[in-house]
Structure 1
Amino acid sequence: MLTVDEAFRKFKSRLELNDREQKNATARHTEVRDYIRTKFKIEKDFLTGSYKRHTKTKPLKDIDIFFVLKDSEREAYRDKVPSVVINDFYDALVEKYGASAVRKQGRSVNVDFGIVADAEDNTDYRVLSVDVVPAFTCGADYEIADTDKGEWIKTNPEIHASKAVAAHQAYSNEWKGLVRMAKYWNNNPRHGEKPVKPSFLIEVMALQCLYGGWQGRFDYEFQSFFQTLADRITDEWPDPAGLGPPISDGMDAARKQRAKTLLQAASRDASLAINLSRQGKNGEALKAWRALFGPKFPLS
């Protein structure tokens, strides 16, 4: 039987992308990128978000693709309300993928490839969806359309990525794995709606809440991490790049309170699992961790 530490190591490995998943993801985002270039005047396009930062969890979905429009498109889009560019990207993607597969979001357009994860969160190594993000350069940064706010907002994915790299190195190269596991907890269907939205907020909080260096034990780390997240979920969490609106703006007071309650419960569940291990009930401890995180947490 696996020890708890071995189970966490296996869990961490299961959330990492293998060669087949990387190949499928590359094929999918390349397909979308090639198509968008035929419909719009694109200065450059590149991958961003948690996929690029290696903090994306399973099942693999919502790979972010930044499309930086040429300056010649500013009059058509940047000088208009954000919904104009989102609507045009939506219409273009509907032409290729169909209306049932394409969905407008606050700052992007989502393309769903119709893949359904099984009970163990397996997708036969296929990516579920991508997010297409229109953007313009703004000095050394970028501006993206925010239809919820009705304005263009600044961002810089490169700064987000560099902060993640620094945090990972400072945490004995365990930080990204811990973030992926926490995001997987956030996706657990037993919650119904995700407790923490957007998932990027977990990563932003982890930049501060995972501190003091790696102590060598996943079980204690998560018991403490969940409690710290619960204690600080009601705080305002600024954009790590110092450019856009607070990342925590995506949650109102009621959602934050719900997240706080669920994070506190997760911390208590972690404590119970740790206690089972102390009593020598290793099998029951593994089941408790699986119940907490979801089906990717191994029992053997």
Structure 2
Amino acid sequence: MAWTVYGAFCQFRDEVVDLPPELTEKARLSLYSITTRVAELAEQKSDFPRLGAEPLVYGSFARKTQCQPLDDLDLLVVLEPGSARPTSIRRDRFGFDLEASRGPLARFTGAFLDDVNSRSVLDAIRNEIKGLRDLEVESVDRRLQAVRLKLDFYDWNFDLVPAVPVVKDGMTQHYLIPNGNGDWWRTDPRADADRLTAALNRHGKAFLSLVRLVKYWNATQKPRLGSYHLETLVANVMQDKGKMYTLDLPELLARCFGRLTDAVFQPCPDPKGLGPDLDLGVDWLRRTQISENASWAAYFTEIALEYDKDGETEDAFGAWRDVFGKAFPSYGSE
């Protein structure tokens, strides 16, 4: 039973927010299965883009910032670049053309241009991926940047994102992924992994718990921020001379919500320095509504801290339920 705020947060995280260990292991096995089957498909189907390396797991699951429910897993399907060469384009300051007059990507160019069309690559993956057994065919769809599929024995989707490595002096500098318009944007999940490692070295594991709690809160709100955008904002605002000032989650939440109130109005550049700003497309009305939601969350967290400090634990539980909803344990609940 939860009789203390500390105990309530432990119960809340274990039962509601964090992915259970057995689910995490099942998800990892499913990624291995998909990776193996995609590799087999690429070998068997000549129309499937030629693979250049093992797929890379990325996204919230890879960064260990995924909260429940687990709804999708992201894979970069690394393609063989051959002699393909990226060039920047004027119409999109973050966009790139990918020129390939020959090599494995040349068949995805237009009739009169040597530019690889990322939509054509997505279509080729989409058309061939339907050959996977146990696949819910209707769930396969070409999206802006990925081919989404669902196997009938998993509860989550798989987003397959074609990625072309940009190599210099034998080293992969970054990857090009579809931008939704037929061109390409840069990304590099390795940079995200390095950034997370640095955050953990600075702040400890409390940082991951904080991110997952704020993501869970965000998922209960309307409107909501994109997952990666929010994660980046949390990392940006929760630094005090390089470190979080406390490891106490309730206090961290109060500080985080208070700072997010203003942070959502600020530009949020891609922390990798490769792609467009993460707040691209978030209009002023939506920012205002999200800021108001964060302001209310900050208000109730402060009230909860005061109640707990004064020994009014049951009232503190009620204030935390105002933040996270009825999924947060009630006082004395099992």
TM-score w.r.t. length of structure 1: 0.85
Which position in structure 2 is the counterpart of 1:131?
Answer: 159
Q: Kindly provide the amino acid, as one letter, of the partner of residue 133 in structure 1.
A: V
For 1:4 and 1:114, the matched residues in 2 are separated by: 40
Q: Kindly provide the amino acid, as one letter, of the partner of residue 12 in structure 1.
A: R
2:299 to 268, 272, 288: 268
Which position in structure 2 is the counterpart of 1:196?
Answer: 225
1:111 to 149, 169, 188: 149
For 1:101 and 1:13, the matched residues in 2 are separated by: 31
Q: Is the 8 A contact 1:183 1:202 kept in 2?
A: yes
Which position in structure 1 is the counterpart of 2:87?
Answer: none
For 1:8 and 1:277, the matched residues in 2 are separated by: 13
Q: Which moved more, 1:245-254 or 1:8-17?
A: 8-17
Which position in structure 2 is the counterpart of 1:42?
Answer: 51
Q: Which moved more, 1:248-257 or 1:290-299?
A: 290-299
CA-atom RMSD, angstroms?
2.4
Q: Secondary structure at the match of 2:280?
A: helix
For 1:216 and 1:131, the matched residues in 2 are separated by: 34
Does 1:156 find its partner at 2:166? no
Structure 1 residues 9-24: aligned runs within 5 Å? 9-14=10-15, 15-24=17-26
TM-score w.r.t. length of structure 2: 0.77
- State the 1:113 CA deviation: 4.8
Q: Is the 8 A contact 1:67 1:135 kept in 2?
A: yes
Q: Kindly provide the amino acid, as one letter, of the partner of residue 136 in structure 1.
A: V
Q: Which runs of 5+ in 1 are unaligned?
A: 116-125
Distance 1:272 1:141, change over 3 A: same
- State the 1:222 CA deviation: 0.9
Count of paired positions: 285
The structure carrying a bigger helix percent of its residues is 1
Q: Is the 8 A contact 2:300 2:322 kept in 1?
A: no
For 1:74 and 1:294, the matched residues in 2 are separated by: 50
Q: Is the 8 A contact 1:114 1:128 kept in 2?
A: no
Q: What's the % identity of the aligned pairs?
A: 24
Q: Is the 8 A contact 1:68 1:135 kept in 2?
A: yes
Q: Which moved more, 1:176-185 or 1:99-108?
A: 99-108
Q: Which runs of 5+ in 2 are unaligned?
A: 43-47, 82-102, 110-114, 168-172
Q: Is the 8 A contact 2:136 2:151 kept in 1?
A: no
Instruction: Give the structure, 1 or 2, with the largest relative contact order (CA under 8 Å, sep 6 or more).
Output: 1
- State the 1:234 CA deviation: 1.7
The one-character-per-residue Cα deviations of 1:8-30 (angstroms, maximum 9, x if unpaired) are 23333443333321232123222
Which position in structure 2 is the counterpart of 1:119?
Answer: none
Which position in structure 2 is the counterpart of 1:57?
Answer: 67
Q: Which moved more, 1:88-97 or 1:230-239?
A: 88-97
